[in-house]
Amino acid sequence: MGKRILVPTDFSKNALNAIRYALDLYKKQTCEFYFLNVFRVNSYTTDTLIIPEPGSAPYEAAKEESKEGFVKLLDILELHHDNPNHTYRTISSFNFLSEAIKQTIAEKDIDLVVMGTQGATGAKGVIFGSHTVNTMEKIRECPVLAVPEEVRFSIPKEIVFPTNYKSTFKRKELNYLIEIAKMHNAAIRVLYINKKRELNEAQENNKQLLDEILGNVDHSFHMLTDNDISDGITSFVESRGSDMIAFINRKHFFFGSVFSKPLVKEIGYDATTPILALH
């Protein structure tokens, strides 16, 4: 059985770009793509307690609009991405975005979520931007790949993996990273950013374990003494022209008191490189 990949779409250019990136990234793999559109009913706001029922005119009109959006989307994909390895499924859902994503992951046994991300300056009212970052924080059932609007697909040759070596690594957490690296013969650059250059004994052990897990994938270890984690990652990625950033999204690691600000928020809003959040 091939991969099952979920791509939420609001039919914007930004979402289409994420779909194209996913199709190109998995070009040679057998994949089932699920496109999810969360539709809204214009007359419905959270202030009113009346939730539109299926069958009611506003609900059915909004659902129909969602279906029409999918017809156009599939036409575009047929034109540019006619790949015998890929099959497409569409889902229209009246729900909150993160709930609809979680439900689809559970029902369809999804392997990966791919989303478009607009920065904080993105168009108001569009589902993504902060929504992408929230999804990366909330979805823990499978990896989430966020694709910035300006990014055009090029075969990933280098993936940056920032870590503080404070947690033990598990092979299954890194499966997706290793798989993408092998798929495209990409190198993994492990990046440690800290004012103190020396690692303690536990960190050294974790680093050694990571070295073993990455095994036969091309990888190397790098250290930066930078005051700010996200600035350090950004300058490292920019100076090398890296193609992707991957990190393990552990609550106590990236979102706890280890760093003053959640890293995914910092990089996510300002991203110029696709970010893969592993779980």
Question: Domain holding 123: CATH number?
Answer: 3.40.50.620
> 265 lies in a domain?
no
> 240 lies in a domain?
yes
Give yes or no: residues 140 and 169 share one domain. no
Give yes or no: residues 86 and 219 share one domain. no
What is the per-residue pLDDT for 269? 52
18-22, 73-77, 120-124: least confidently modelled range: 120-124
11-15, 50-54, 194-198, 254-258: least confidently modelled range: 254-258
What is the per-residue pLDDT for 179? 94
Give yes or no: residues 123 and 21 share one domain. yes
Q: Rounded CA gap, 178 and 188, in Å? A: 8
The answer to whether 59 and 67 have CB atoms below 8 angstroms apart is no
Q: Rounded CA gap, 262 and 259, in Å? A: 7
Q: Rounded CA gap, 273 and 152, in Å? A: 10
Q: Which residues contact 66 (CB under 8 A, 6 or more apart)?
A: 37, 39, 92
Residue where a domain stops, chosen among 90, 114, 148: 148
| Cα Rg, the chain, nearest whole Å | 20
What is the per-residue pLDDT for 124? 43
Residue where a domain stops, chosen among 94, 115, 148: 148
> 268 lies in a domain?
no
Higher pLDDT, 243 or 131: 243
> 104 lies in a domain?
yes
Higher pLDDT, 54 or 215: 215
Give yes or no: residues 7 and 143 share one domain. yes
> 119 lies in a domain?
yes
Q: What digits encode the pLDDT tens for the residues 221-274?
A: 999 987 778 788 888 998 999 999 998 877 644 443 333 355 566 665 566 789
Give yes or no: residues 136 and 239 share one domain. no
Q: Token pair of 66, please?
A: 């969602």
How far, CA to CA in Å, does 176 sit from each of 28, 39, 222? Answer: 16, 30, 21
> 13 lies in a domain?
yes
Mean pLDDT in residue range 60-88: 91
Q: Rounded CA gap, 10 and 72, in Å? A: 12
What is the per-residue pLDDT for 249? 79
Q: Rounded CA gap, 180 and 54, in Å? A: 41
Give yes or no: residues 46 and 133 share one domain. yes
Give yes or no: residues 252 and 162 share one domain. yes
The answer to whether 118 and 249 have CB atoms below 8 angstroms apart is no
Q: How many domains does the chain have?
A: 2
Give yes or no: residues 121 and 231 share one domain. no
Give yes or no: residues 10 and 97 share one domain. yes
The one-letter amino acid code at 259 reads: F
Domain that holds residue 184: 158-259
Give yes or no: residues 143 and 181 share one domain. no
**Within 215-249, where are the H helices?**
229-240
Give yes or no: residues 7 and 135 share one domain. yes
Question: Angle, nearest 10°, between helix axes 97-108 and 130-138?
Answer: 40
Nearest to 246 by CA among 119, 156, 111, 116: 156
Q: Which residues contact 41 (CB under 8 A, 6 or more apart)?
A: 52, 58, 59, 62, 94
Give yes or no: residues 69 and 121 share one domain. yes
